Structure 1
Amino acid sequence: MFEFFKRKKKEPEANENLVVSFAANDSILQGYKQKAQEQISYLIDFIKENGDGIEKYGEVLFNYGVKVRFEEGDEAEHMWVKVSEFKDGYFLGELNNDPNTMKLIKCGDKVNVLVKDVEDWILQDLLTKTKVGHFSNAYVKGNANRDSQ
């Protein structure tokens, strides 16, 4: 089932620290969230089969992440959570971004994310340098490039 990694082309590393603003009702991002939700069982099944990344020869072979909306008062940010486990309908992990406006959470905080709240997800094979998911990446990067010009 997971032979996909042996066929996928390698992708260059991307800047993962982008801060980009979008309208709350951005229809393109909503479409990516729908796609992520439709395919999230792939990530869940992979985590269940491979655990917390399978450590062999002292190295972790896989990383998992989910993007979710965090709210604090009137502020909202969409940030990545590095997933360590899937249990009882939740992704368990730690916040993998430094919030831009939020004060009550910080990078490294332990968080639980319900499946229904996932807006995007990524599965990285560190051995083959391939990725699955990460549906909104090109759109977010394209808007970041436009904002910086």
Structure 2
Amino acid sequence: MDFWITVGIIVLLAVAAVLVKQALYRVRQRNAVAKDDDPLISLVLLRSLRLALTEDEVRARVSRALAMSFDVGNEHATEFVMEVPAEARPPFGEGQTFLVKIAAGFFFVHSYAKPYMDLDARALDDIMDQRLRRVMAEHRAWLSVDLLREIGDTAREAAYPTIGKILAAMLDEDSLGVLSPALSRCKPLNDDARDALLSDDPLALFSTVSLPVFSVAADDAAMEAAIAEARERWPEFVAAFAAQEADTGGFNVKVMFTHGDYTEHIWVEVETIDGETITGTVGNEPDAIPGLKFDDRVTVTMDRISDWMYFNGEEMVGGFTVKVLTEMMNRKG
């Protein structure tokens, strides 16, 4: 588990550096809409297509998200949704902006038909996590919920749970990822992201570390050598697992799973080893293997092993492909 956290943090730092550079212009542009010089309190949904909305649809989604209702038709109502006229909208291009006034404050809901950030091929190549790179490359629109003004003395950051719930109500099949402008971090959309948006601390989504998915050429010489070494030294892992000495733990194997012509190497936490058969639970969310998910119990054979690792105290033993991936990341950095 410590190994996964270490690798994930390295990736997040690399991704954050790219996002900071590419998003600064967009964030500055949107900050001009916010009150005075307060930091932007916002969450952004990266999408493949723009979500076209009406005032009624925004009202319905906000009502569902916050378990509230609007007094439509009452000109004295203190809570309302209003589409901002085209001439008064922020300069984000083709799209819509809605003003939402609720008990928690004034909010903007923006929905625009352009990438939130334009990454060139080199910048995309610097994002080694395959899932995150796909989100950045494929998104063509964005939808955000921004705090415009809080009510009373409430801290601006206290608006995040409201923002998260409203954003969750905007999710559909065209939603790809969630981005925090304040943190300059992005997460591909999955069940964990959906749950986080509905929680009381949606920003916690960006502090969790997911094991990234790397894309490596099938004929990469360094990776082939690492896999060969892992298989040659497999008896070392078996012996250590059998001994289960006091300072050892975190016994994991990397297993090849295939779907058609696609092969994905996924970590499995080992429960038992019986001859050439290994049983354990899937340790990270698969990217493109249908029917396989995190924490599934699987049984595999030794010929599908591409790496192994365990900890002896604080020292990682094995992790041959991990070392290759780390070197690749260092070269890109």
Shorter chain as denominator, the TM-score bin is 0.7 to 0.9
Matched AA of 1:15: V
Q: Aligned partners of 1:134, 1:47: CA distance in 2, in Å?
A: 15
Work out which of the residue numbers 229, 232, 237 in structure 2 matches 1:43.
237
Q: Aligned partners of 1:133, 1:88: CA distance in 2, in Å?
A: 20
Residue 34 in 1 paired to residue 228 in 2?
A: yes
| Higher helix proportion | 2
RMSD after superposition: 2.3
Matched AA of 1:79: I
Shift of 1:137: 1.2
Matches within 5 A, 1:44-123: 44-50=238-244, 62-123=249-310
Given that 1:64 and 1:123 are in contact with CA atoms closer than 8 Å, whether structure 2 keeps it comes out as: yes
Query: What SS does structure 2 have at the residue aligned with 1:137?
Result: helix
Unaligned ranges ≥5, structure 2: 9-210
1:57 equivalent in structure 2? none
Q: Aligned partners of 1:118, 1:61: CA distance in 2, in Å?
A: 20
1:4 equivalent in structure 2? none
Q: Aligned partners of 2:223, 2:255: CA distance in 1, in Å?
A: 12
Shift of 1:87: 0.8
Given that 2:248 and 2:310 are in contact with CA atoms closer than 8 Å, whether structure 1 keeps it comes out as: no
Given that 1:98 and 1:106 are in contact with CA atoms closer than 8 Å, whether structure 2 keeps it comes out as: yes
Shift of 1:27: 1.8
| Higher strand proportion | 1
2:213 equivalent in structure 1? 19
Shift of 1:145: 5.5
Shift of 1:144: 4.2
2:164 equivalent in structure 1? none
Shift of 1:146: 5.6
Overall identity of the aligned pairs, in %: 25
Provide the aligned length of Structure 1 versus Structure 2: 128
Q: Aligned partners of 1:71, 1:93: CA distance in 2, in Å?
A: 18
Query: What SS does structure 2 have at the residue aligned with 1:29?
Result: helix
Over alpha carbons, which structure has the higher Rg?
2
Compared CA separation, residues 61 and 38, structure 1 to 2 (3 A): closer
Given that 2:226 and 2:324 are in contact with CA atoms closer than 8 Å, whether structure 1 keeps it comes out as: no
Matched AA of 2:7: N
Query: What SS does structure 2 have at the residue aligned with 1:22?
Result: coil
Q: Aligned partners of 1:27, 1:113: CA distance in 2, in Å?
A: 25
Work out which of the residue numbers 316, 322, 328 in structure 2 matches 1:137.
322
Q: Aligned partners of 1:34, 1:74: CA distance in 2, in Å?
A: 21
1:6 equivalent in structure 2? none
Shift of 1:22: 1.1
Unaligned ranges ≥5, structure 1: 1-10, 55-59
TM-score by length of 1: 0.75
Query: What SS does structure 2 have at the residue aligned with 1:112?
Result: strand
